[in-house]
Amino acid sequence: MHYVYVLRPLKDSGFYIGYSANLRKRFSEHVTGGSFATSHRGPWKLIYYEAYLEQADALGRERYLKRGAGRRFLDRGSRSTSESILRKKPRERSFYADLHPCAESAGNRSEESLD
């Protein structure tokens, strides 16, 4: 199996996206500081992973997640989940919070004008 994974450091709100053919071994390297790329920001928590049968598929997915559209996927969450993968908390604002409060009063004025 080939894995693409996302790690979050316990120190800050950053993250690390990686690939490995042996996820358990690679994660232990991250935790113990054996990986140069992540040794300065640990300890780490595994927050997301995907498994693939083909190495090319996993590497392609890793490239996707490291780019803009993939980061947006991780930030927004998938269509099947309402929670973000990267955020600690899901969004608390609703769609209606962005609407201007005058929208209701405009409806009342139109009723008044009919009289």
Question: Could you tell me which residues are beta bridge partners of residue 52?
Answer: 2
> What per-residue confidence (pLDDT) applies to 19?
94
- Residue 104: band (very low, low, confident or very high) from pLDDT cuts 50, 70, 90: very low
| pLDDT tens digit sequence for 21-65 | 999 999 888 888 888 878 887 788 888 899 999 999 999 999 999
Domains and CATH numbers, the chain: 2-98 (3.40.1440)
In angstroms, rounded to a whole number, what is the distance separating the alpha carbons of residues 6 and 78?
15
In angstroms, rounded to a whole number, what is the distance separating the alpha carbons of residues 11 and 115?
63
> What's the mean pLDDT in 63-73?
87
> What per-residue confidence (pLDDT) applies to 30?
85
SS3 94: coil
> What per-residue confidence (pLDDT) applies to 73?
81
Angle between helices 68-76 and 55-66 (to 10 degrees): 80
